Structure 1
């Protein structure tokens, strides 16, 4: 038999028939599921056999068994049917209670620890059947960013003006503090500029070995106030910086809310910097690609409401 398939002869409804019969191994049960007669199923199978030049299913005992050709087609048919279901769903109004969509949020591990628990709780209530997928800043950058379709939204510091096609909504303000190990000579004391410059520092580079917007803000702030960092080690996460600071005489700069959490879990102490703390304006960022999408708008609303509510409760 020829392996050639006349794709022009393929019909979506016939493929649905083949998928159902492969799943159920019965013409009668497939007819019941698809709400057609068994004769219609048999007719569709006959046409598919001609199209694929293969028997596709043969009788064995009281059931049907697939040929090797049909067995190879089965997982591809399942994927195609799932894709068609998603296309059909896209034509319907978005229903948060029924959606099984995956929503992707990019943020550093600082937000993953401090903000995502509240986001996850709100997500579970509003989108009970959907899936939340977190991406690191590295993954976002490597995947082409928000414009490239890697994520639906990102939590990031406000920095330079956003490029064309990007949107942002303010979330909260955060300030930076320093953490050192308990028993450190500087623990419990306000640091002078000279002492700051003499210490060895842990540098946090969350964006493909680079600092990202937050790092640039910190560096500019230190330069403005005559502070210099003698970097002992560079790490890709805030959690790693805190863990290392707890076991060395090195100092790490962390967002205050995250630092307050870590001092309850690790032998760390918060030290106030020698100048007023650097402040960050955190925002939710997204691209034109998802701006008008009903599902993405619902997801952004969940994120913004959860973060603002959590911050408001913590400030009381």
Structure 2
């Protein structure tokens, strides 16, 4: 194979095809027509003398040759992207850049308000497009379609850059007239009625089963370790909903402390430490290697870190 005859676009096509494993999705990501993508796949097959993708009962599957090529092609494209990045200085005072940010409900209610307040003073024309975890997936982040994702992640692709923003403890939030708050302890906590709030990640969630402790997460796993379980009456994926239900329906919401702290001085709420030990959670920001050396992105990452330290 003569490298001088290789069309760089074919390497881009190959990279996207191997990640999407679908001609239509790959075409949509590259903003080209499906016939153009199909023609690109045909040219790739001729170039490498390999089917690249084969159809099976599980859909399109990469061949052994193309699987070996995938990390090599990805590395080449990432290095080229970094080399071509503009070295022009970024001026936040005059920029009208839109930063696309995936933030969990927890991050959106704790970190984002402080971030916006800070940006309004130094970058008045910069905008933030906030998306939820179900709006995007890891491929969107890796491809640079999203500037940053902020959430609690259990597993991450190795290609991502990441930074821990903070570790947070838990707080029990309930209405001030909730009888549970009067003599608060483990037994009164267990006798109370509870709200469960999702530990959201990427993708669409599934229905919850109160008997499945592994899916319920940190609070219920901590209770299980001491041989106890709570009476969950409501499952929600939204912290603001959980807080409102705690106020109106005499329920207990056990939340990350930074989310509950917004109501520490609200007379209608009582905030108490959990009567058992719950491991702290970690909030991270992640971003694509494609954006790592971009001047505006470097500036934005710094502003996110500063806001996190002020929360």
Fold match (TM-score > 0.5)? yes
Instruction: Specify which of 89, 105, 110 is matched with residue 109 of structure 1.
Output: 105
Q: Which residue of 2 aligns with 1:137?
A: 133
Partner of 1:179: 173
Partner SS for 1:290? coil
Contact in 2 for aligned 1:173/1:280 (Cα 8 Å): yes
Aligned 8 A contact 1:177 1:255 in 2: yes
- Deviation of 1:106 after TM superposition, in Å, equals 1.9
- Size of the aligned set, in residue pairs, is 219
Structure 1 residue aligned with 2:185: 191
Q: CA deviation at 1:239?
A: 0.5
1:306, 1:160 → 2: CA distance? 23
In structure 2, the CA distance between the partners of 1:302 and 1:245, relative to structure 1 (3 Å rule), is same
Equivalent in the alignment of 2:151? 156
CA distance in 1, matches of 2:270, 2:304: 31
Structure 2 equivalent of residue 100 of structure 1:
96
- Specify the alignment match of 2:301 in structure 1: 300
Following superposition, which runs of at least 4 residues in structure 1 exceed 4 angstroms of deviation?
none
Separation (CA, whole Å) in 2 of partners of 1:214 and 1:151: 28
Change (3 A) 1:91 1:283: closer
Mapped pair 1:125 → 2:121: yes
Q: Secondary structure at the match of 1:220?
A: helix
3-state SS of paired residue (1:289): coil
For the pair 1:291 / 2:292, whether they are aligned, the reply is yes
Report the Cα offset of residue 103 of structure 1: 0.4
Aligned positions of 1:31-110 closer than 5 A: 92-110=88-106
Aligned-residue RMSD, C-alpha:
3.0
Decide whether the 8 Å contact of 1:166 with 1:286 is kept in 2: yes
Distance 1:214 1:122 in 2: 36
- Where structure 1 has 5 or more consecutive residues not aligned to the other structure, the ranges are 1-88, 312-316
Q: In structure 2, the residue corresponding to 1:300 is in which secondary structure? A: helix
Distance apart, 1:150 and its partner CA: 4.5
TM-score, length basis structure 2:
0.61
Partner of 1:202: 195
Q: Larger Rg: 1 or 2?
A: 1
* Cα offset, 1:275, TM superposition: 0.9
Superposition TM-score, scaled by structure 1 size: 0.60
Task: After superposition, give the CA deviation of every residue in 1:99-156 in whole Å (9 maximum; x if it has no partner).
Answer: 2221022222332232222211222234332212222223234x85522544211222
Q: Deviations over 1:180-227 (max 9, x none)?
A: 2222121143321x443333221112453359x996344433333333
Q: In structure 2, do the counterparts of structure 1 residues 150 and 239 end up closer, same or farther at CA, with 3 Å as the change threshold?
A: farther
- Give unmatched runs, 5+ long, in structure 2: 1-84, 208-213
How far the C-alpha of 1:264 sits from its partner, in A, is 3.5
Structure 1 residue aligned with 2:164: 170
Contact 1:98-1:127 at 8 Å conserved across structures: yes
**Distance change >3 Å, CA 94–CA 113, structure 1 → 2:** same
